[in-house]
Chains A and B, each alone.
Chain A
Amino acid sequence: MDEIKAMLEKIASVGDQVNVDVVFGKPQEIEGRTIIPVAEVGYGYGMGFGSGPAATCCEDECECECEDECECEDEETCDCECEVETAMSGGGGAGGHARPVAYIEVGPEGVQVKPIIDEQRVALAGILLSAWAVGWLGLVLKTLFTKR
């Protein structure tokens, strides 16, 4: 149990151990210019643990039900030896993402921050916006030209 507690405390401290270097990448020299990639980074985790009785063998004091670790020594005298063990189980998951946001270009003329546009997401959003606008226009026109 102590090991699990220590592990949980260690994992819980992940939120405090933030490194700026994951957002601002290593400078790269390209054709006399220095490029520094900049990204948005996110990560998360979740986990859960539980415990409970693994085997309950004697439901009644005078009835022996022998399963797993239980031993029924003498059914007639109700001499049972039951072991109730505690089982533990757990699971967890984690994930992360990184999206390029911009890059910093350092050249003879100075430092310039140039944004990066995710064209795929913007195009998809544009298509959805167009469909939304056409839908509303159609609804208004249909209402306008429908006879009462």
Chain B
Amino acid sequence: MAQFKQRTRMISGNPIVVGERRLLPTVLVKTLEGEMIPGSPVCAVQLQPASLVEEGPEGERWHNIPYATRDALSSMGAAAAGIALAGSIALLLIWLARGGRR
């Protein structure tokens, strides 16, 4: 029987030094590991950049790492779901306006 274990961790890397600035990156790590059948391991790891902490002469600043492509695709997916919902409601209204019979 398949047994899987999922873990989500936030890890920070070594500071990147650029001039007077130190940049501390953090990464979100999602791990899925398990065995489909005993003795047959399966593992998948996904590393997503999460944020960047900047330490400079002006002090400390936190930078978000945007994922523009994923955000755009998510918006389009939401729009597609909205279109399907609106279309279904329109079809339902037409059907009800005609007496609700086939």
Indicate whether A30 reaches chain B with its CB closer than 8 angstroms.
no
Residues of A contacting B45 in the complex (Cβ-Cβ under 8 angstroms): 14-15, 18, 42-44
How many Å from the CB of A101 to the closest CB on chain B?
5
- The answer to whether A12 touches B11 (Cβ under 8 A) is no
How many Å from the CB of B100 to the closest CB on chain A?
12
- The answer to whether B18 touches A113 (Cβ under 8 A) is no
- The answer to whether A132 touches B49 (Cβ under 8 A) is no
- The answer to whether A14 touches B83 (Cβ under 8 A) is no
Residues of B contacting A136 in the complex (Cβ-Cβ under 8 angstroms): 83-84, 86-87
0/1 per residue, A67-101, Cβ < 8 Å to B?
Answer: 00000000000000000000000000000000101
Q: Count of B residues near A, CB < 8 Å?
A: 53
Taken together as a complex, chains A and B put the C-alpha atoms of A12 and B39 apart, in Å, by 11
Q: Which A residues fall within an 8 A CB radius of B?
A: 8, 11-12, 14-16, 18-24, 27, 34, 36, 38-49, 99, 101-102, 104, 106, 110-111, 113, 115-118, 121-122, 125-126, 128-129, 132-133, 136-137, 139-140, 143-144, 148
Sample of 20 more A-B contacts, CB < 8 Å, known A20-B11, A23-B27, A125-B76: A12-B41, A15-B33, A20-B25, A23-B49, A24-B13, A27-B16, A43-B44, A45-B41, A102-B66, A110-B54, A113-B52, A113-B66, A115-B67, A115-B68, A118-B69, A122-B76, A129-B76, A132-B80, A136-B84, A140-B90
